[in-house]
Amino acid sequence: MELVFCTNNQHKIQEVSEIMGPDFLFLKLKDVHFFDEIPEPFDTLEANSAIKANTVYFFCNKNCFAEDTGLFIEGLNGEPGVFSARYAGEPVDSMKNIEKVLRKMYGLSNRRAYFKTVITLVLPQGEWQFEGVCHGQISTEIAGCDGFGYDPIFIPDGYDKTFANMLPDTKNSISHRKKAFDKFADFLLKFNS
């Protein structure tokens, strides 16, 4: 089945390629000549993930999937949440986002947080969503240089280092994205059989 991955984020493309393995081939936005910014106007991951996949689906009339991810921090009442990408404003800057989180959390003892990913798949037959959650906590300092986004400050449960201090294989075996894409892969296998 031909599927378009509706993202311009090279880190997501890399992680999803590793999670799904070499048999899963997808088209990129440039392959379908989609060069616009994809809108993310809503205040839920579900709605943003859906509009991303539907925007490209109606543009190229091909099977599409998109994902939206956010970091939800208990001690910050769920911030940055759905606004994770632009938490410190425009232009998107991951280090500024991290610095804002650490500044707002200074002195906070509750450091519980989770990443959530929502994938939307749009086919001519309908639309489906798949989610994955990874629980952990926010470190007090930046650590590690692998990964992307908030990885240098997120320590998943059961580990004593941040995502950015892990081998990509380790992150990709436990992450929110892995859990969501496992469900997505199961669905595609059954759908195509």
Give the β-pairing of 112-123 and 126-138.
antiparallel
Position 94 contacts ligand IMP (CB under 6 A): yes
Q: Give the pair of three-digit tokens for residue 160.
A: 């004593």
Q: Are 117 and 180 within 8 A, CB to CB?
A: yes
Of the candidates 68, 157, 169, 186, the residue annotated as catalytic is 68
Number of other CB atoms surrounding residue 107 within 10 Å: 6
- Is residue 36 part of the annotated active site? The answer reads no
* Binding range to ligand IMP, per CB under 6 A, among 20-28, 62-70, 99-107, 184-192: 62-70
What amino acid is encoded at 67 in this protein? Answer: E
Which two three-digit tokens encode residue 108? 């906070």
Secondary structure of residue 98 in the 3-state scheme: helix
Can you read off the two tokens belonging to residue 27?
Answer: 């088209």
Assigned token pair, 115: 């990443």
Binding letters toward ligand IMP, positions 156-185, x by CB under 6 A: -------x-----------x-x--------
Binding-site string for ligand IMP from residue 20 to residue 59, where x marks contact by CB under 6 A and - marks none: --------------------x-------------------
Q: Which is nearer to ligand IMP, 2 or 43 (CB)?
A: 43
Interaction site with ligand IMP (CB under 6 A): 9, 40, 68-70, 84-85, 94, 97, 115, 147-151, 163, 175, 177
